[in-house]
Structure 1
Amino acid sequence: MRKLFAGASAAAALFAGSAARAAQPVDWQTSFQPAATDIMRQVTWFEHYTLWFIGPVTLLVLILLGYCIVKFRASANPVPSRTSHNTLIEVIWTVGPVIVLLFLAVPSFQLLTAQYTPTEEAKLTVKATGNQWNWDYEYQVEQPLSFNSAILEDADRADAGKEDRAVYPRLLAVDHELVVPVNTMTRVLVTASDVIHAFAMPSFGIKTDAVPGRINEVWFKAEKEGLYYGQCSELCGKDHAFMPIAIRVVSDKQYETWLAAARTDLGGANKALMAEVDGTNKVAAAGN
């Protein structure tokens, strides 16, 4: 089963490789955002895998319902059957679901284990604190860096250099993105200062509650440079819908340059990074 997971993940990576750099929420979207991590590829594979069971089971139930409605209608059966049980049918509807559940349980447990078992030690740790209705980020590095990230107001777009709504969508763009290096195991310590929030990044396959007084942990290793969007996914008050999460994945060199400059001038560091990244057309927008 692990080999099957690996093969499916590789295929998904090839399929989504070119699309991930330009993906963002679209009208009537029915699929997940393109995967930017191995975990998300496994999640996508598991969704497709379960559909092979959900489809036939749903069809079978509809057929059986239709059969019973037609065959056992009152006009065709004025005297109802007094049958109390049927051993064969009871064995089938007991053994059948058990087999189906086993086929679902094994890869499900493997995916769950993978989500809670990082393949390597984290090289970067960031603390994310949810507030009503924004996020505080604190980089756990030798010289700590902290800043607040809130939704980008339309009036501030021009000053921030984020007027391109194809790259910085309405209700998803923020004033200061969380910046991380590509192909780096990143641990996010998630908590909250007031009420329960949730830190969710669909393209990374992560989502966890931010609970006051408690620290939850998620991790990811983004494999593609770009700008990825998520949102608070726990109803947290009147502005819950206006609490986006934006993570910009850049090269190691770009990250080190940004980190050094951001300690003294966060706005200037962001603009310099944007000028470099946007100019190379490597911006991706992947939301939920």
Structure 2
Amino acid sequence: MHATLLVELLTEELPPKALSRLGEVFADGVFKALLERKLVAADARMDRYASPRRLALTLQNVLGCAPDAVVDEKLMPVAVALDAEGRPTPALLKKLQAKNIPAEALPQFTRRMDGKSETLFYAMTLPGAALDDVLAGIVLDALKKLPIPKLMRWSDCDFQFVRPVHGLVMLHGERIVPGQAFGHASGRSTRGHRFMGDGEVTLAGADEYARTLYERGSVMASFEARRALITQKLAQACTALGEGVHHVDDSALIDEVTALVEYPVV
């Protein structure tokens, strides 16, 4: 079944100068790993989110289980695998045992030239990866690869991250994908703005993430959307102040301000 996937890591305030990059690397890492496991198509739409207290992504059309794959397993040259009567040799039987291939599958083996020798091949069906089995590991691996120069510990736990972690959301459609990260089990609850929104925001499904967080939590999760709004409001404020007033086009400063706020007001 295809559905939108949501992953959100809720944290203390992240380093503002690194926030945009952290959001990009995290989302891209999760997407790449899902793509390698055939759980999503290369052209699937992905939305990245990075705000002072969260890194997140939504990814459309993610499978609950990847399709099975048939691969040709190269065994060994026929001259080594079979005796003069065509029966499997001890060398072949040992090879089959190591690869968990039943000897009864011998009639299904195919012969074809591999280089200069005729070789036995076996068409193996490999079960596709299940999202529930791999997502937590994918998320943790993506987090470990973030460009973080200095890690920290918090409370009495042994975990290390750039900032203390307070929650994990993993939804496939409306269903919670089981998993853990930094001692937190996955769920569907996140937190809104510290002062302006609901303290706890329950997400009905992955597709409603950005809208629900904005309407109930007063959080604009998209870094790009916050930046565009700040730039627009600055221009409007300068126009309202009259001729001769203009804002300085300082991209680095706007990026830093964007990384410091979850609900921009100019």
Q: Give TM-score scaled by structure 2 length.
A: 0.28
Larger Rg: 2
Greater helix percent: which structure? 1
